[in-house]
């Protein structure tokens, strides 16, 4: 008998082959393609075999379409359960980004009976606030157990109002509890975990700072587990080690994780394999497209609304150069944050290399495909020393090669690309000297023409993601929050453009990086 386990993870609202940019930048992804791949794999089985389909979290947030549903028309909330049903998912896991719109919204969006959640608990009852901890699936005499787990790091990212009344238990401890219960009952035991790997699978060496965000390696070492489905890091992984098979199927439906298990007539596992199947050339599932079509029309009309003009300086052609010398598009975001937060200093980031910046004529689509997260603006009071410390954290993003050429620190590229943890500032002038040791690189920090005073407090506008210290920025803390602006930053950018017509920013000159020969 065969058991086939198919999984997607981190679809992030990209349900068809459309990255929402115009012209399109990427059509080689999407849930509709992934569903077709899963159907092809399912058709390979006989009636005697068992197939399980698992959606591993971060499903209801991340695209302009999901923003439209949350902001404009929540009557479309049933879309998420409808698409999951059309995809045929037997299991759905809660991702960290599922909380971006708040607990109440999440509970409305995931109403199906297939949600597995063992470690996010109601504080009072100490039971899963949504879903159930595990399920046992049976075909003939063969039984397969699946335990659903989510990264415990969510309180580090989300404001209290989004997770009120919830307790995020350690997924390793919870897994141990349910493994003891399930292992005697099942022939195959799977952990479906919305989280990634903190250590190299072969060597066990840490891949970065061990902080509890990712515990996949620790979970892989638990006795009694046959398979581990992971996500969160957006990596493409499929491996078998120490008798355990593992997958992580990337981002936005770009791949499907496939696990195949063979059993003998006594329900003994005799073979297991793992692989990924790319979805980029597979035709889209027609049922998914049909369900999406009416909503897509409304979303496209909304996104193509004209916002204003910003001049001809805001397109990002060279992302590395933009991070080295800042960019007018960065200046725009920071000015919008400063305007909303009523500060004279702000910092932001170029999230990834898909950020194009803006052409002169700006639509809502242009803003939302450049600023893709539902962040808000938070104002914190930092001392001059804390501002310097924050810049030092960002300065770790760079590394010199043996020839003193400037490159990106591999820790920001592997195991997960983290361009979003390098911030660029407006309102201060600062220099980063790459010839200095790490954490001693920042020099000549000026505010309004005078040297920044180390013991003086300054109000700084940052996004809500950074405001909790995420990304090793320990100087940002909830206790330092002065005020918050409960309007999404993408909307603040649109408002700023409309209120400051005509708008035209020159290239900023407040950042200097010295001590290198050339870009590598």
Specify the pLDDT at position 242.
84
Q: Same domain, yes or no, for 333 and 212?
A: no
User: Domain check: are 294 and 312 in the same one?
Assistant: no
Q: Cα(458)–Cα(387) distance, rounded to whole angstroms?
A: 9
Q: Is residue 120 part of a domain?
A: yes
- Return the DSSP state at 128: B
How much is the pLDDT for 209? Answer: 82
- On the CB side of 395, how many CA atoms lie within 13 Å of its CA? 25
Residue 270 and residue 362 in one domain: no
Q: Do 315 and 255 share a structural domain? A: no
- 113 and 30, same structural domain? yes
Token readout for 147 is 């335990």
DSSP letter string over 271-326?
Answer: EEEEEEEE-TTSPPPHHHHHHHHHHHHHHHHHHT-EEEE--SS-B-S-HHHHHHH-
Q: By the 8 A CB rule, do 137 and 161 touch?
A: no
Does 216 share its domain with 134?
yes
Q: What is the CATH number of the domain that holds 285?
A: 3.60.21.10
Backbone dihedral angles phi then psi of residue 501, each to the nearest 5 degrees: -85, 140
Q: Within 13 Å, how many C-alpha atoms sit on residue 473's CB side?
A: 31
Domain span holding position 191: 2-299
At residue 202, the pLDDT reads: 87
Burial of 112 (0-12, 13-18, 19+ CB in 10 A): middle
In a domain, 519, yes or no: no
Two tokens, residue 29: 């992804």
Same domain, 202 and 134: yes
Same-domain status, 329 and 351: yes
For residues 263 and 142, what is the distance between their CA atoms, to the nearest angstrom?
9
Of 251, 266, 299, the residue at which a domain comes to its end is: 299
Token couple for 326 = 């800042």
Taking alpha carbons only, the member of 223, 258, 267, 264 closest to residue 244 is: 223
Please give the average pLDDT of every successive group of 10 residues along the chain, which has 520 residues. 97 97 94 98 96 98 96 96 98 97 96 96 97 97 98 93 97 98 98 97 89 96 98 97 94 98 95 98 98 97 97 96 98 98 98 96 97 95 98 98 96 94 98 97 96 98 95 95 95 97 95 95
- Whether residue 195 is contained in a domain is answered as yes
User: According to the model, what pLDDT value does residue 204 have?
Assistant: 92
Rounded to 5°, the CA angle 130-170-108 comes to 20
């Amino acid at each position: 008998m065969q058991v086939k386990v198919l999984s997607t993870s981190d679809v992030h609202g990209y349900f068809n082959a459309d990255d929402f940019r115009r012209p399109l930048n990427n059509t080689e992804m999407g849930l509709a393609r992934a569903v077709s791949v899963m159907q092809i794999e399912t058709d390979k089985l006989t009636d005697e075999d068992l197939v399980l389909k698992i959606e591993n979290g971060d499903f209801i947030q991340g695209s302009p379409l999901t923003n439209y549903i949350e902001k404009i028309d929540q009557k479309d909330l049933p879309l998420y359960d409808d698409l999951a049903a059309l995809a045929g998912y037997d299991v759905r896991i809660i991702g960290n980004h599922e909380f971006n719109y708040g607990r109440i919204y999440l509970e409305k969006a995931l109403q199906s009976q297939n949600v597995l959640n063992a470690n996010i608990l109601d504080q009072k009852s100490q039971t899963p606030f949504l879903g159930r901890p595990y399920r046992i699936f049976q075909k003939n005499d063969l039984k397969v157990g699946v335990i659903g787990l989510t990264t415990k790091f969510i309180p580090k990212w989300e404001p209290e109002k989004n997770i009120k009344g919830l307790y995020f238990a350690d997924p390793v401890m919870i897994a141990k509890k349910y493994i003891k219960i399930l292992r005697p009952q099942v022939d195959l035991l799977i952990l479906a975990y919305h989280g990634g790997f903190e250590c190299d699978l072969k060597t066990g060496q840490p891949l970065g700072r061990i902080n509890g965000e990712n515990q996949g390696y620790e979970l892989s070492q638990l006795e009694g587990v046959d398979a581990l489905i992971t996500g969160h890091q957006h990596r493409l992984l499929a491996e078998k080690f120490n008798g355990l098979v593992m997958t992580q199927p990337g981002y936005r439906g770009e791949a499907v994780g496939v696990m195949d298990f063979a059993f003998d007539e006594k329900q003994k596992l005799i073979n297991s394999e793992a692989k990924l199947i790319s979805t980029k050339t597979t035709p889209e599932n027609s049922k998914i497209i049909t369900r999406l079509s009416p909503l897509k029309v409304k979303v496209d009309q909304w996104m193509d609304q004209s916002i204003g003009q910003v001049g001809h300086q805001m397109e990002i052609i060279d992302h590395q150069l933009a991070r080295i010398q800042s960019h007018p598009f960065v200046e725009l975001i920071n000015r919008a944050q400063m305007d909303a937060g009523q500060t004279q200093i702000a910092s932001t980031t170029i999230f990834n290399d898909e950020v194009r910046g803006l052409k002169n004529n700006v639509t809502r689509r242009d803003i939302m495909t450049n600023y893709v997260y539902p962040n808000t603006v938070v104002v914190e009071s930092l001392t001059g020393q804390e501002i310097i410390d924050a810049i030092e954290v960002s300065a770790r993003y760079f590394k010199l090669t043996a020839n003193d050429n400037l490159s990106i620190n591999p820790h920001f590229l592997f195991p997960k690309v983290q361009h979003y943890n390098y911030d660029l500032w407006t309102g201060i002038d600062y220099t980063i000297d790459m010839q200095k040791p790490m954490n001693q690189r920042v020099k000549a920090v000026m505010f309004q023409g005078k040297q920044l005073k180390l013991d003086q407090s300054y109000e700084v506008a940052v996004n809500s993601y950074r405001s909790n210290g995420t990304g090793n920025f320990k100087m940002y803390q909830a206790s330092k929050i002065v005020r918050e602006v409960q309007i999404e930053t993408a909307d603040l950018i649109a408002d700023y453009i409309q209120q400051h017509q005509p708008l035209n920013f020159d290239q900023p000159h407040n950042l200097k990086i010295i001590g290198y020969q050339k870009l590598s």
